[in-house]
Each structure stands twice: as C-alpha cells, then as structure tokens.
C-alpha cells in the first residue's frame, strides 16, 4: 500500500512538472509554427470523421430514447431539451473519450518509441529540449482543437436529434430548436467549453507523460499506450465531476 501511494505521488509530481515545463515553452512551439500546425491538423482535421459519426449517432440515440419516454407521458414536444444534455455533458465528455483513444494513445506510442530507441536522448545531446519539442506542441493542439471539435460535435448531435425527433415522434426541426433555445442558457456553452479545455490538457499531458516514462522495448510501448488511454479516461471522468461541482457551486 505504501509503495502504491509513493508511486502515485511520484507520478502526480511528474505530471505536474511536465505540465509546467510544457506551458513554459509555449513560445518555442509558436516559433516552430510548422511543428505546431502539424499537431493542429492531426488533432483537428483527422478527428473530424470519427467525431461526425459519434455526434450524429449520440444525438439520434438520445432523441430515440427520450422520444420513447416522453411519448408515454404525452410530452414529446419537449424532446428538444436533449440538446441541453448534449451541450453540458455528452458533447465534451464523449469527444474527450474519442480523442483519448485516438490522440492520447498516439502521443504515448510516438514518444514511447522515441524513448525506447534513444531518440529523446539524441534530442538532448543536440541541445533541443524534448519537452519543448514533443510535449508543448501536442498540449497546445489539444487545448485549441478539442473545444472546436466539441462545438462541431454538439452541432452534429443536434442535427441527428432533430432528424429522429421529426421521423419518430413527429416534432418538426423548428419546434425542436424552439424548445432548445427557449431553455438553453449561454453560460452552459461556456461551461462546456471550459470543460473541453481542461479535458484537452488532461489528454495531452497524460499521453506525453506515459510516452516519456516508457521502458522495455516494444512491450513497454504497448503498455504505455494502454496506460495512457485508461488514465486519460479515468482522469476525464473524475475531472468532469469536480469541475461540474465547482461550477454549480459558483
């Protein structure tokens, strides 16, 4: 038990140090704009297809289940309220899950492979700081692109929900969005974007941290990749609870 707590505290300190060093070298990443834009493209553009499918079917499933329950009580006109759940929770959390699996795992695998083959040490020998070169651009890409992807996912999910609402319960898109905008408050959008910003940082730092601590060859790379996904998913869920609790208190 003592060893587990010691390892946990050591990992927490390493994650905090990695985050601080990554933020410290933001200027370096901005100057290396080609490296930064490459990460923007990888996190944003390459995630669009899977985010589109996810958003569409999340909205459709929510509308299907909500429509079934609301029809039982003759309240199907309020099916547009599913949009509030999409904005507040489903959009940021599920999009973060997708990026943890697609982006966070790739960070751990890429950096872990470089660590195993001593390419990280080679960067240090050439006078390049590995954190500035590898971690900072990835952190900035996740911080910028995840909120944008969340907005896009919310939009697609709303379209999917409106489509099912019309075909399943007979609520037109205008009625669907009228109810949504009647009850939706702008502060919920800002809360959602704040959550996605935090989730983006968690995904990037977790993936880079697992990559930098990789040892043991190909087996170690596989282990680090798996750990990055598991830790990121758990961290996103835990952070979601505490962020929501703090925002509600405020």
Mean pLDDT of 133-137: 93
Q: What is the pTM of this model?
A: 0.91
Phi and psi, residue 214, nearest 5°: -70, 135
Residues 6 or more apart whose Cβ sits within 8 Å of residue 19 = 139, 201, 205
Residue 13, pLDDT score: 79
Mean pLDDT of 194-212: 95
Distances (CA, A) of 166 to 27, 84, 161, 163, 192: 50, 18, 9, 5, 27
Residue 188 CB coordination number (10 Å): 15
Cβ contact 112:122 at 8 Å: no
Place of tokens 């835990």: 238
Mean pLDDT of 143-161: 95
Q: What is the mean pLDDT of the chain?
A: 90
pLDDT digits (tens, 9 = 90+) for 96-105: 999 999 999 9
Report the alpha-carbon distance of residue 18 to residue 22 in Å, rounded: 6
H/E element holding 121? helix 119-125
**For residue 158, what are its two tokens?**
């709303």
What pLDDT band is residue 72 in, cutting at 50, 70 and 90? confident
The fraction of the chain above a pLDDT of 90, given in percent, is 68
Residue, of 72 and 79, whose pLDDT is higher: 79
The closest alpha carbon to 213, from 40, 12, 27, belongs to 12
Report the alpha-carbon distance of residue 244 to residue 17 in Å, rounded: 26
Distances (CA, A) of 41 to 11, 33, 120, 137, 237: 30, 12, 23, 12, 26
Residue 250, pLDDT score: 76
Mean pLDDT of 153-161: 95
């Amino acid at each position: 038990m003592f060893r587990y707590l010691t390892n946990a505290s050591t990992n927490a300190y390493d994650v905090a140090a990695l985050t601080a060093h990554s933020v410290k070298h933001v200027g370096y990443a901005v100057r290396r704009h080609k490296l930064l834009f490459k990460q923007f493209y990888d996190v944003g553009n390459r995630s669009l297809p899977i985010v589109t499918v996810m958003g569409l079917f999340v909205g459709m499933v929510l509308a299907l289940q909500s429509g079934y329950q609301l029809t039982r009580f003759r309240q199907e006109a309020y099916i547009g309220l599913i949009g509030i759940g999409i904005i507040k929770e489903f959009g940021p959390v599920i999009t973060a899950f997708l990026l943890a699996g697609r982006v966070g795992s790739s960070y751990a695998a890429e950096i872990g492979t470089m660590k195993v083959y001593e390419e990280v040490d080679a960067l240090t020998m050439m006078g390049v700081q590995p954190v500035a070169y590898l971690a900072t651009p990835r952190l900035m890409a996740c911080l910028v692109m995840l909120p944008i992807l969340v907005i896009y996912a919310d939009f697609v999910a709303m379209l999917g929900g409106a489509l099912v609402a019309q075909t399943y319960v007979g609520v037109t898109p205008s009625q669907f969005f009228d109810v949504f905008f009647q009850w939706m408050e702008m502060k919920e959008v800002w809360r959602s974007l704040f959550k996605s910003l935090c989730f983006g940082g968690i995904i990037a730092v977790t993936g880079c941290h697992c990559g930098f601590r990789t040892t043991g060859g190909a087996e170690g790379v596989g282990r680090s990749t798996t750990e990055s996904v598991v830790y990121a998913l758990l961290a996103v869920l835990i952070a979601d609870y505490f962020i929501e609790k703090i925002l509600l208190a405020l």
